[in-house]
A and B are shown apart, each in its own frame.
Chain A
Amino acid sequence: DVKVTQSSRYLVKRTGEKVFLECVQDMDHENMFWYRQDPGLGLRLIYFSYDVKMKEKGDIPEGYSVSREKKERFSLILESASTNQTSMYLCASRSSTGTAYSNQPQHFGDGTRLSIL
C-alpha cells in the first residue's frame, strides 16, 4: 500500500512565523502535490512537483513556497504565516512512470490542520 506521511496532524503557529509542513512518501513516486482544503471551497492546488528539484505553481501559490530536494520528500513553506492561511493542508503523491500520461490516481496523506493565531 502507498503511504503518504505528513509530519504533523495539528499545528498552531503565530502570524509572521515561517512554517514548514513536511510530506514523505514511500513509493518512489515522481509527482507530489500540496493542496489546502477549506469549507465551501473544496481542495485547491497550491504547488506540485514533477520530480526532484522541479516545481510548478498551482492555483493559489501566493504566500507559499516548496522544496523538493529528495524524491520522497516534498515540503511546503509558509514564508510569513497569516491568519488566512489557517486551513487543512493535504499532501498527495502519484506515480507517473510508464508514459507521460500515466493514469495513476493521487494518494493522499492524513492532512495537517494548521491554525495561525
Chain B
Amino acid sequence: EDKVVQSPLSLVVHEGDTVTLNCSYEVTNFRSLLWYKQEKKAPTFLFMLTSSGIEKKSGRLSSILDKKELFSILNITATQTGDSAIYLCAVLNQAGTALIFGKGTTLSVSS
C-alpha cells in the first residue's frame, strides 16, 4: 500500500530558529513530491520536486528530494510567527491522477 509519512507530527520553536521537516514515502510509480502550507483555510502550494538532489528555494524556505532513499526535507530558516501552519507533504503517482498525502506536521512558532 502506498504511504507517505511525515515527521515530526508537531513542533514548537522560537522565532529565529531553523526547522527541518521530514517526509518519507513508499509509492509505486512515483512521479513527483509536493509540499503545501495550510493555515486556516486552503493548502497553498510551496514546491514540487521531481529530480533528486536539486534544491528548490523560495525566500527562507527550501526543499530537496532524495529518490534513492525515498525522502524529502523542507527547511525553514529564521522562522517567523507567520510560518505557523500545517505543512503537508504529498506524492503524485506516475499517471498524475492521485496525490497521496502524509498526515502533516503542525509547526508553531512563538515570539
Stretch at the interface among A61-69, A77-85, A99-107: A99-107
Interface members, chain A 31-90 (any B CB < 8 Å) = 31, 33, 35, 40-45, 48, 50, 56, 58, 90
* CB neighbours of B11 from chain A (8 A): none
Is A110 in contact with chain B by the CB < 8 A criterion? yes
CB distance from B74 to the nearest CB of A (A): 15
Known contacts A42-B101, A42-B102; A101 and B94 CB within 8 A of each other: yes
Q: Is the CB of A111 within 8 A of B41?
A: yes
Q: Is the CB of A101 within 8 A of B42?
A: no
Is B84 in contact with chain A by the CB < 8 A criterion? no
Interface of B is mostly: strand
Stretch at the interface among B14-22, B43-51, B57-65: B43-51
CB distance from B73 to the nearest CB of A (A): 18
What is the size category of the interface that chain B forms with chain A?
20 to 34
Instruction: Give CA–CA (A58, B92) in the complex, Å.
Output: 14
Give the contacting residue for B42; candidates A33, A96, A105, A111; CB below 8 A: A111
Is B76 in contact with chain A by the CB < 8 A criterion? no
Residue of A nearest to B104 (CB): A42
What is the size category of the interface that chain A forms with chain B?
20 to 34
Is B34 in contact with chain A by the CB < 8 A criterion? yes
Q: Is the CB of B101 within 8 A of A43?
A: yes
Known contacts A43-B88, A50-B97, A96-B96; A105 and B45 CB within 8 A of each other: yes
Q: Is the CB of B97 within 8 A of A110?
A: no
Q: Is the CB of A42 within 8 A of B88?
A: yes
Please list the residues of chain B having a beta carbon within 8 angstroms of any beta carbon in chain A: 31-32, 34, 36, 41-45, 48, 50, 88, 90, 92, 94-99, 101-104
28 A-B pairs within 8 Å (CB atoms) are namely A4-B42, A35-B101, A40-B103, A41-B103, A42-B102, A42-B104, A43-B43, A43-B88, A43-B90, A43-B99, A43-B101, A48-B98, A90-B43, A101-B94, A101-B95, A101-B96, A102-B96, A103-B31, A103-B32, A103-B50, A105-B34, A105-B48, A106-B45, A106-B99, A107-B45, A108-B42, A108-B43, A110-B42
Please list the residues of chain A having a beta carbon within 8 angstroms of any beta carbon in chain B: 4, 31, 33, 35, 40-45, 48, 50, 56, 58, 90, 96, 100-103, 105-111
